[in-house]
Amino acid sequence: MAFEGLAERLQETMSKIKGKGKVSEADVKTMAREVRLALLEADVNFKVVKQFVNRVKERAVGQEVMKSLTPGQQVIKVVNEELTDLMGREESKLEQAEKPPTVIMMVGLQGSGKTTTAAKLANYLRKEKNRNPMLVAADVYRPAAIDQLNTLGKQLNMPVYSQGTEANPVDIVREGVEQAKAENHDYVLLDTAGRLHVDETLMEELQGMKDAVQPDEVLLVVDAMTGQDAVNVAEHFNEQLSISGVVLTKLDGDTRGGAALSIRAVTEKPIKFAGMGEKIDQLETFHPERMASRILGMGDVLSLIEKAQTNVDEERAKELEKKMRNADISFDDFLEQLEQVKSMGPLEDILGMIPGAGKMKGLKNMQVDESQIGRVEAIVRSMTKAEKQDPKLMNASRKRRIAKGSGTTVQDVNKLLKQFEDMKKMMKQMSSMNGKKKGKGKGGMQLPFMR
Amino acid sequence: MNFFKKLKDRVTAQTDTVTSKFKDGLEKTRSSFAEKMNDLAARYRTVDEDFFEELEELLISADVGVHTVMELTEELRTEVKRQNVKAPKDVLPVISEKLVAKLDYSGEDYELNMNDEGMTVILFVGVNGVGKTTTIGKLAHQFKSENKNVVLAAGDTFRAGAIEQLAVWGERVGVNVIKQAEGSDPAAVMYDAIQSARSKKADVLLCDTAGRLQNKVNLMKELEKVKRVISREVPSAPHEVLLVLDATTGQNAMTQAKTFKELTDVSGIALTKLDGTAKGGIVLAIRNELNIPVKFVGLGEGLDDLQPFDAEQFTYGLFQELVEAGDHKAE
């Protein structure tokens, strides 16, 4: 990645100060500058950064940090707390109309992902909340926008209301909501055309649509990669339409997503959802406290834990942990682990969530080749039961058979066996390390599917 | 300051529609930036650290990129000391001098790389929602009006409605669109498109691809394959690989440019959505660090709103007041 996380930067600054025993005001200033740069690099708007850094400085000079023995960590803690305060702590829910249907209107710039998000949200409402939503295609400007929503509707088997591209968007949404009422849908999602926040004519049109249907939610859809201009966009849309919340899209990219902070600061409206991928079910409730860590480059530990929890059987995990501690793991366990990791989603996503993964030797810039996992799996599955339990059985003819069975070469089999042995050794080391000395070498661990 | 005078004279001498398009398109971008710059100079009595900090922020607000900005202000600090500049308004010309030195557009080639010996193949790449398909539509229109035989390849087989979107553009502009069903292999679409464009004796083949985030390894590999197929069928192709960038994008644009360049050897940038308030300053940083030139800018929704990039216009548009301040001092 192009930039390092704030945690690393502060650590670096601190190592220069280390040994002085005391942190001076000038040191706090240096640290404040690091905080400032980190936030700016994360695309947080400079005005927001300024206010923010001033608040952090106040608290830092206010002895909280200077007296501490670990000032670097203290600054991170203060920054994290302030960030979380700014982002809001609570997840916020969708509004619900007293009398159905609840009308949700999606607005935003071109290419921010309104149509995809509308479909994802509809899917979410039906799947997670047991609702019966309907989609309305009111983007009459972009070529084939209506086709796009229709296709998504077909995929989801969900009704899409449209009147073609000749109709007036205000009429489309009015009649769309009427139809939803008549067909007893409890949610209506309005997809509108992307527009520039400074395009007066089109912004007025949005206002007209809003007046016509009185939506319960006006969600501003924003690309997480947006730069400094995010404040302008959010301010304009909020002033003219009084938005009720924000959806942050493309958060599965490698952007820090500082725009989230900027938008939150200027509109004080909650971010309600985050788009996490191109698949229709990749929409998540937005967790503000996790975003704070991400902006700072501290990893998304909570999301990782949550992913692991939903995918891993706890009993089995305990059993496995015991085995690992005794370095008594077999290829069967290995295969099971592999399956679990795979079920947690793309490996790169998972690695991205591990704090410090960027710092670990070998993990930085590491690319995971998912097809390699398939090969490893094939090799293991070509082993006999006995071989899986006791790799020591392996000899040349067995290896040849396995290579043939898995469509790989003997070299591949050898490589895997070697890596498996290394892994066992690592486990042994780790468990003997436990409690005694904290290990220095983390870099040696190499899983078979890492390149 | 002679340089600025020349720049200004040259730009103001151009009275054709291109200039006015550029001006109108950049109107919002320009006014806010220039106003702020002047306001900054007016508010400070002396050039001090606070002044520099605000200046940094001003430049950062244009998404120029933290790294580039820090480099620039560092040089400025030295220069101000050396020239013993005290009044903020006298710093302005120094700033513009440095900025233009950073831009350094002398000798850069903004022309599209066309194949003189047959069909020109242009591949469009970029993340989701930057405006690849729209840019292709507009460019097809341009080529068509130059009486060129244009074929479009609908390589975005992933996003719902993407093929239809390109098809609508094809109809609108009056050019052929080669397409397969949604979900088919994009490399196969390219293969088909090349064969078909050849038999139609096309001058230009514009290849659309699905938007993909640069950190998705498998999708990036797919793109590599698409490019490989094109090169296999037409050895000198693709003659251009255009990375489409959204001007609203912040620092991530640099990562995008880096990754796409590594994998597809990007030869130019099309900077879209520049008609809003975003300044797209990151292209300066991209030029600086990766040396990828901007070839087109998108300045609106109309068919004619894709303009060849003109660095002088772009710089002048962004920093007009600064340039004029430079003039002022020279007089």
pLDDT at position B52, please? 86
C-alpha span between B278 and B274 (Å, rounded): 6
Q: How far is A33 from chain B (nearest CA, A)?
A: 11
Q: What is the mean pLDDT of chain A?
A: 81
Q: What is the mean pLDDT of chain B?
A: 84
Mean pLDDT, residues A386-414: 90
pLDDT tens per residue across span B278-326: 878 888 788 878 888 889 999 888 888 998 887 767 766 666 545 554 4
Give yes or no for residue B264 having a pLDDT over 70.
yes
Q: What is A4-86's CATH topology?
A: Four Helix Bundle (Hemerythrin (Met), subunit A) (1.20.120)
**CB pair distance less than 8 Å for B127 and A198:** no
Q: Is B130 annotated as a binding residue?
A: yes
**CB pair distance less than 8 Å for A2 and B218:** no
pLDDT tens per residue across span B211-251: 999 999 899 999 999 999 999 999 999 999 999 999 999 99
Segments of chain A assigned to CATH 1.10.260.30: 304-432
**What b/e string do you get for A224-240 counting C-beta neighbours within 10 Å, with b at 16 or more?**
bbbbbbbbbbbebbbeb
Q: Both tokens of residue A136? A: 């309305």
CB-CB neighbors (< 8 A) of B246 in chain A: 111, 223, 225
pLDDT at position B155, please? 96
Q: How far is B143 from chain A (nearest CA, A)?
A: 20
User: ω before A101 within 30° of 0 (cis)?
Assistant: yes
C-alpha span between A421 and A413 (Å, rounded): 12
pLDDT tens per residue across span A66-88: 666 566 667 777 787 888 888 88
C-alpha span between A254 and B49 (Å, rounded): 33
Q: Is B131 annotated as a binding residue?
A: yes
Nearest residue to B210 (alpha-carbon basis) of B298, B122, B123, B128: B128
Give yes or no for residue A438 having a pLDDT over 50.
no
Q: What is the pTM of this model?
A: 0.76
Q: Is B208 annotated as a binding residue?
A: yes
C-alpha span between A162 and A139 (Å, rounded): 9
What angle, 0 to 180 degrees and rounded to 10, lies between the N-to-C axes of helices A410-433 and A370-381? 100
Q: Is A206 annotated as a binding residue?
A: no
- Looking at the DSSP bridge assignments, the partners of residue A102 are A187
Q: How confident is the model at residue A272 (pLDDT cuts 50, 70, 90)?
A: very high
CATH superfamily of A102-297: P-loop containing nucleotide triphosphate hydrolases (3.40.50.300)
Q: How confident is the model at residue A23 (pLDDT cuts 50, 70, 90)?
A: low
Segments of chain A assigned to CATH 1.20.120.140: 4-86
Of A165-174, A243-252, A351-360, A441-450, which gets the smallest average pLDDT?
A441-450
ipTM exceeding 0.90?
A: no
Give yes or no for residue A1 having a pLDDT over 50.
no
Of B10-19, B81-90, B313-322, which gets the smallest average pLDDT?
B10-19
CA distances from B57 to A36, A121, B46, B62, B331 (A): 11, 37, 18, 9, 29
Q: How confident is the model at residue B14 (pLDDT cuts 50, 70, 90)?
A: low
**CB pair distance less than 8 Å for A229 and B276:** yes
**B302 contacts chain A (CB < 8 A):** no
Domains of chain B by range and CATH?
3-108+314-330 (1.20.120.140), 120-309 (3.40.50.300)
Mean pLDDT, residues B50-54: 84
Mean pLDDT, residues B63-85: 85
pLDDT at position A210, please? 97
Segments of chain A assigned to CATH 3.40.50.300: 102-297
**Cα–chain-centroid distance for residue A397?**
47
Mutate one of B248, B286, B318 to test the A interface: name it (highest A CB count within 10 A).
B248
Please state which CATH number belongs to domain A304-432.
Answer: 1.10.260.30
Nearest by CB to B254, which of A2, A229, A368?
Answer: A2
Nearest by CB to A198, which of B158, B172, B277?
Answer: B277
Nearest residue to B277 (alpha-carbon basis) of B32, B95, B107, B21: B32
Interface size between A and B, measured as CB pairs under 8 A = 157
